[in-house]
Amino acid sequence: MLIDEIERLDAERSDLASFRGKFHEADKSAAILEEKFKGKISIEIIHIACITVGAAALGYAPSIWQMQPTAWMTGIFGVVLIVAGLAAKAVKP
C-alpha cells in the first residue's frame, strides 16, 4: 500500500516538474510586459501634460497680446510644448 502511494506521488511529481519551468517562463514574460507597460504609461503622461500646458499657453497668449514680448514668448512656448508632446507620442520606446 505504501509502495503504491510512493509510485503515485512519484508520477505526480514528474508531471508537476514540467509546470515549474513553464511557471518561470510565464513569470519572466509577465515581468517584462509589466516593465514595458510602465514605460508606455510614463510616455502617455508626458504627452498629455505637454499638450495640455501647450494648449493653455496658446490660449493665454491672445489675452496678453498688448504685452508684446511676453505674448510672443508665451505663444512660442505653447507651440514648442505641443510639438514636444506630439513627438513624445510619435516616438515610442
pLDDT at residue number 55: 95
Chain-centroid distance, C-alpha 88 = 12
What confidence tens digit (pLDDT) does each residue in 5-16 have?
Answer: 898 898 888 888
Distance CA 54, CA 51 (A): 5
Q: Using CB atoms within 10 Å of the CB of residue 53, give its burial: 0 to 12 exposed, 13 to 18 middle, 19+ buried.
A: middle
Q: How much is the pTM?
A: 0.62
Residue 20 has pLDDT above 80, yes or no: yes
Q: Where are the domains of the chain?
A: 2-90
What confidence tens digit (pLDDT) does each residue in 30-42 have?
Answer: 999 888 888 788 8
3-state helix, strand, coil in the chain (%, to 5): 90, 0, 10
